[in-house]
Structure 1
Amino acid sequence: MSISASDYFRAKLQCEIDVMEVAESQPGSLVVVDTRRKSSWDHGHIPGAVHIPTARIPALARELVPANSHVVVYSWGPGCNGSTFAALAFAELGYSVKEMIGGMEYWIRNGLPLATATAGTIQSKPDPLVTAHTS
């Protein structure tokens, strides 16, 4: 079966969200889930995110994420497909889920806050080559 390019991209947009849309979303409207390993989580994650490594989603999702939540998953960045596997796991559990394109890499490159295990919440400057976002 072949689909048109417009149908493909329309479907793709229903399954993805960019970092700025996540950052600018209404508080409490999304459950953001970091799907990376614990050492990566400790190194830095989105403030307020829930930590569920991809392999643990089937066991922990229902305990940590309310059933009617709008879930956004992320992993490291465009070179990592961990969040794609995570989005699939949440979708198979019946959640409304989107994958945050760009992952942590583009969250950081956009100068958005980062929560760490040792330094608390830190802020960096946006990379002008990847964002029009101004602090």
Structure 2
Amino acid sequence: MLAFVDAKLAYEIDVVAAADAQASGSAVIIDSRKRQSWDHGHIAGALHLPAASLAALPQTLPRDRCLVVYGWGPGCNGATYTARRLLTEGFDVRELIGGYEYWVRNGFAIVTAGTTSRPGPDPLVTAEPHR
């Protein structure tokens, strides 16, 4: 059981650590959701790579940085499919715990209809606003 927990900690990343990694340039965030979901709103600075379009990976994906993959939230496994595909190609990948839902709930920057905003943090998720 300890090996499972260690592996989970090595593979998953929470939204605070992902935001820090994105800000430092050590990670690129990948949205695995459908176009309609992306258009509804996505993490600022994320790349769109829908799970359904994984047959041919873009040649522009960076191999020198961690790829943090996300879906809608805890009930979505599209990010897991995308992460699996990227891992088979040798990329360094982490899956974002809580996905887009928890990114928004923590008050990090999102893009909706071409406008970047920072929703107020949900007090059930965080006691302090982030950046």
Pair in the same fold by TM > 0.5? yes
| Partners of 1:50 and 1:64 in 2: CA distance | 11
Residues 1:76 and 1:120: Cα distance change in structure 2 (over 3 Å): same
| Structure-2 residue corresponding to 1:38 | 35
Q: What is the Cα deviation at residue 56 of structure 1?
A: 1.8
Q: Contact (CA 8 Å) 1:45, 1:115: kept in 2 or not?
A: yes
| Structure-2 residue corresponding to 1:123 | 118
| Structure 1 outlier segments of 4+, above 4 Å | none
Identity of counterpart residues, as a percentage?
47
- Local SS of the residue matching 2:93: strand
Q: What is the Cα deviation at residue 64 of structure 1?
A: 2.8
| Structure-1 residue corresponding to 2:25 | 28
Amino acid at match of 1:126: P
User: Larger C-alpha radius of gyration, 1 or 2?
Assistant: 1
User: 1:1-135 maps to which residues of 2 (within 5 A)?
Assistant: 5-25=1-21, 26-61=23-58, 63-116=59-112, 118-135=113-130
RMSD: 1.4
Amino acid at match of 2:47: V
Q: Which whole-Å deviations, capped at 9, do the CAs of 1:79-107 have from their partners, x for residues lacking one?
A: 11111111101001110100001000001
| Partners of 1:13 and 1:55 in 2: CA distance | 27
Q: What is the Cα deviation at residue 67 of structure 1?
A: 2.5
| Partners of 1:58 and 1:12 in 2: CA distance | 26
Q: What is the Cα deviation at residue 114 of structure 1?
A: 0.8
Q: Size of the alignment, in residue pairs?
A: 129
Normalised by the size of structure 2, how large is the TM-score? 0.91
| Partners of 1:66 and 1:134 in 2: CA distance | 30
| Partners of 1:14 and 1:37 in 2: CA distance | 27
